Amino acid sequence: MSDQAPVLEFRNINVHYGPVHVLKDMNLSINAGELVCLLGGNASGKTTTLKTILGMVQPSSGDVIIDGDVVTGEKIAGIVSRGVTMVPENRRLFKRMTVKENLEIGAYLRTDRDSLDAEMEHIFEMFPRVKERLNQKAGTLSGGEQQMVAVGRALMAKPKVLLMDEPSMGLAPVLVQQNFDIIERINGEGVTVFMVEQNANMALSIADRGYVLLTGRIVLDDTAPNLLANEDLRKAYLGEVD
Amino acid sequence: MTDTLERTSESEAPSPNPVDWSKVQKWGSLGGLTMSFIAAIGMVAALDKRIIISPWLSLGFITLLWVPVAYGYIAATEKASDGSPPPVKGARDIISGLVTGLISGALFALFIVIIDAVDLTDVFRNLGPKLVELLTFGLGLGAASVIWIVGSGLLGLIGGALKVVRPTVRRVVSSAAMGVFGVALLELIVTDISQGLHIEFVTDWLYAINGGLTTISAIVVAILFGLLGLRSDDRTLTQRRLDRMNLEPQVLVRRNAIAAAITIAAVIFLPMILGGLTNELLANVGLFVLMGLGLNIVVGSAGLLDLGYVAFFAVGAYTTAILTSPLSPTWTPELTLNFLSWEGWLILAIVLVMAAIAGLFIGTPVIKLRGDYLAIVTLGFGEIVRILFLSDWLSPYFGGAQGITNIPSAALGPVEIKGTNSQAMFYLIAAFVAIAIYVSWRLQKSRTGRAWTALREDEDVAEAMGINTTASKLTAFVTGAMFASIAGMLFAAKVGSIFPSSFKLLVSIIILVIVIVGGMGSIPGVIIGAIVLIGILGGPTQPGLLQEFGQFKLLIYGALLVVMMLKRPEGLWPSLRRQRELHHDEMSQDSWLQGTSYQTGGVPEDEQGGTRYTDDAAPIQDGDG
């Protein structure tokens, strides 16, 4: 699946929020087509990692590299046009806009506006439900439908790398399963997925590889089956989950 | 209020509820207080000269008489709680209304007795023998008290009875009452139109010599409007508009085209048959529509609460004045505002550039602030701009308190548009309003417009989608500034001389009230808001149709704003988007009650590659992964 060319890299990234050292000497390397998850508990720096990739947070040292280019210091719009988009935590749709408008905002930066319809068709194919709800306010949808729209909105940008912030957050267990199925499908279509999760068991069940973050430092880095088998991790995380 | 829930009382077993005495007491006392307050602020005395039905009913007394009717109606309303059957109607409502009215009347009679006994004119100018004489109709205190108590009781009874009768009857009565009131109030404009159409005999018959309808014409008008009320149905205006959305597209397009054609024809032909005064009024409305549309972009679309909007109006007016007036302190040019020559366009261009610069200058430092902070800072900037124009320091450039006079009138080719020729002025302003409406409408539909909406909804996510939030906000701010500057330019050409006192904070607030009352984010809403506030009540310095209300204008603005926020927060003519926003909770509740919620089984099973989900309560499927 992966062709071993890193599409997203962190080189010795340090991030500070004022005096707080949030990410410590972080190194990541994600290859094209991979499905990688970043595991960690509360306040371990997971969301900050995603924000650093998107340029919403600037690292105090180190480089973010996308497709071989150093993008540290670039604006969000620049990163998004390089093909990196995020599905935010808790979905956070524009609740009072219609589903269609939400999808269109996702394609805000695309210049090839003619092919948007094709993109939308593709999303409908994946989520027929979204098509049914196209002119409904996003806020009136159920949690599962909102998740589909959130993913659809991100896909409208035709991303190379999809960042997912806690896809299982706030969803009923049956919807969590469904959500992970969606992520697997998107990854199957060739989109690199970098997912941040607390639900280690579920995340590792679909991921190729995983990183484990502990108070801002990566403490484990292995393939998913190895991580699942790892005794320390089981004790630290899997015991706690559900 | 809950017309749809009403049933006729025969259809259900009547279980008469007891009268809610505490509620009656509350509304009765409130009614007495309201009436006393209205009399105390001098409204009754000031508006007594304006006759509604000659010779026995004046506007002054109407400001009192509506109170028992309305409060009686409110006191008669039993609050229906969720899930319980709609309240049974009957005698209790009528009794509630009657007693409410009686209490109000008694309190008001007491008020009259007190001001008769104690002369308070030293403290409260209005509370003197004159008011007593007016309120006692020249009769003795005793007789007048009886009249007020009995009359108020009867009006309260009418209010309560209105609650009991069928909706049709209620509609006919309110339509007839509103018709008589409206036709009498709009005497000026009706006379104006009939003169334009050379059918003066209609208004000669309709109105008495001292103004107001005659008793007979009032009855005729009441019957006509009553019949009109009979024809309409129970749907509210917004419901109608929502229903319209479900029409066939072709029908909808045709109807919209017809509505647009009628509006355009009215704008073109109406001024021809209207007199100077009415055209003047319309021109003022146009100016405020222009500014309202601009602020609507800033506040309604982008969600930036700008309380210093008048600054850009001032920049437009002062730029025009400095460029064109021979008495301008800075230079003495010979430019004219001729919109068919290059000079007019040059001035327009410079005005727009100046507004953009001012917008960037004010906007850049404050645009990162959110909500309340932005409002306070822009309020400060608005005042700073006015004070700069007023200051002695800059008076060599802007003339200080003396302002700039002798601004030439605008012109379209050979046609000079003097401020005194209100008809031509109206056409000029209408042309700019038309352009502004088109630009607003295009912007709303555009990519930028959508980015503004996203920004208003969730700034962080909008940013993550790649929207440059600072640039988007500044664009909205500057676009709004440009609209206001054009209004400023037209204002300068219209009035011929400008002073810093024309650009007070009040102007910003009134424009904001127009946007809110009309319905945030709605273009027709802005127009309707401007007509209601500027055309009917009057602007900050411009008289409206009801000039008599002039001194109570701000009080009415305030009351209107409070009532609107409580009862109709979406505005008079809301954009359908906002309508749905504000009633979103009800809608999702409805869908939940109808069992159309989709909490589980979100994706059809065949989409799931064999994984099956049941549609009922979600089974826990975790742990086997």
**Hey, of A82, A108, A125, A187, which one would you mutate to test binding to chain B, going by the most B CBs within 10 A of its CB?**
A108
In angstroms, how far is the first alpha carbon of chain B from the final one? 55
Residue B250 has pLDDT above 90, yes or no: no
CA-to-CA distance for B404 and B252, rounded, in angstroms? 50
Nearest residue to A26 via CA among A72, A59, A51, A68: A59
Which of A94, A145, A242 is facing B622, going by the closest CB pair? A242
Residues 6+ apart with CB under 8 A from B219: none
Q: How high is the pLDDT of residue B551?
A: 81
Closest chain A C-alpha to B371 CA, distance in angstroms? 18
Residue B3 has pLDDT above 90, yes or no: no
Instruction: Give the type of residue at A149.
Output: V
Position B238 pLDDT exceeds 70: no
User: What are the counts of helices (DSSP H) followed by strands (DSSP E) for chain B?
Assistant: 26, 6
Question: From CA A87, how far away is CA A25, in angstroms rounded?
Answer: 25
Question: B233 is written with which tokens?
Answer: 């149905």
Angle formed by the axes of helices B553-567 and B505-518, nearest 10° = 40
| ipTM for this prediction | 0.86
Q: Does B454 touch chain A (CB under 8 A)?
A: yes
Residue A27 tokens, joined: 């190194």
Exposure string over B579-617, b if 16+ CB within 10 A, otherwise e: bbbebeeeebeeeeeeeeebbbbbbeeebbeeeebeeee
Whether B588 and B86 have beta carbons less than 8 Å apart is answered as no
> Where is average pLDDT lowest: B245-254, B284-293, B294-303?
B245-254
In the predicted model, is pLDDT for residue B277 greater than 90?
no
For residue A165, the cross-strand partners are A196
Query: Tokens representing B465?
Result: 């989608």
- Give the per-residue SS3 of B404-429: ECCCCCEEECCEEECCCCHHHHHHHH
pLDDT of B234 higher than 80: no
Structural domain spans, chain A: 6-83+159-238, 95-157
B446 has a chain A CB within 8 A of its CB = no
**What is the predicted pLDDT for the residue at A146?**
87
Task: From B322, B320, B291, B321, select the one nearest B308 (Cα to Cα).
Answer: B291
Q: Within an 8 Å CB–CB cutoff, is residue A157 touching chain B? A: yes
Instruction: For the beta carbon of residue B233, count every other beta carbon within 10 angstroms.
Output: 10
Question: Going residue by residue through chain A (242 aa), what tens digit of pLDDT does each one get?
Answer: 445 678 998 999 999 998 889 999 999 999 999 999 998 887 888 889 999 999 888 999 999 999 988 888 888 988 998 989 999 888 889 888 888 889 988 888 887 777 888 888 888 888 888 888 888 888 888 888 888 899 999 999 889 999 999 888 878 888 888 888 889 989 998 899 999 988 888 888 899 999 988 888 888 888 988 888 887 777 766 554 44
Distance in angstroms (rounded) separating the CA atoms of residues A67 and A84: 11
Residue B6 scores a pLDDT above 50: no
pLDDT band (50, 70, 90) for residue B229: confident
Question: What is residue B290's predicted lDDT score, i.e. its pLDDT?
Answer: 96
- Give the closest of A95, A109, A172 to B457, CB-based: A95
**B288: confidence class by pLDDT, cuts 50, 70, 90:** very high
- Over range B455-477, report the average pLDDT: 90
Q: What is the mean pLDDT of residues B240-259?
A: 76
pLDDT band at B296 (very low <50, low <70, confident <90, very high): very high
| B45-59, B98-112, B546-560, B593-607: the lowest-pLDDT one | B593-607
pLDDT value at residue B478 = 95
Amino acid B235: pLDDT: 66
Between B124 and A184, residue with greater pLDDT? A184
Under 8 Å between Cβ of B479 and B443 = yes
H or E element: which one contains A80?
Answer: helix A76-81
Residue of B452, B457, B583, B613 to mutate, interface with A, max A Cβ within 10 Å: B457
Chain A partners within 8 Å of B621 (Cβ): 173-174, 177
Residue predicted with more confidence, A39 or B585: A39
CA dist B383 and B421 (Å) reads 32
- Kindly report the nearest CA distance between residue A79 and chain B, in angstroms: 8
Model confidence at B129, pLDDT cuts 50, 70, 90, reads: confident
Which residue in this structure is represented by tokens 């500044």? Answer: B474
State mean pLDDT over B214-239. 81
- Predicted pLDDT of residue B8: 44
Rounded average pLDDT over B129-146: 87
**Residue in the structure block whose two tokens are 């003795």:** B140
- Is some CB atom of chain B closer than 8 A to the CB atom of A174? yes
Amino acid letter, A208: D
**Region of poorest pLDDT, from A11-25, B298-312, B349-363, B551-565:** B551-565
Cβ neighbours around B446 below 10 Å, total: 11
Cβ-proximal residues to B360 (8 Å cutoff; 6+ apart), any chain: B474, B478
Q: C-alpha distances in angstroms, B194 versus A75, B187, B206, B276, B546?
A: 64, 10, 11, 14, 19
Q: How far is CA B151 from the centre of its chain?
A: 32
- For B471-521, the pLDDT digits (tens) are 999 999 999 999 999 999 999 988 888 999 999 999 999 999 999 988 888
How far apart CA B280 and CA B537 sit, in angstroms, is 14
CA geometry: angle A95, A97, A103, nearest 5 deg: 100
Q: What is the CATH number of domain A6-83+159-238?
A: 3.40.50.300
Residue B484 touches partner A, C-beta closer than 8 Å: no
Sheet hosting strand B415-417, strand order edge to edge = B337-338, B410-412, B415-417
Chain B residues in contact with A127 by the CB 8 A cut-off are 603, 607
pLDDT value of position A143: 81
**More confident: B547 or A129:** A129
Q: How far apart are CA B401 and CA A192, in angstroms?
A: 67
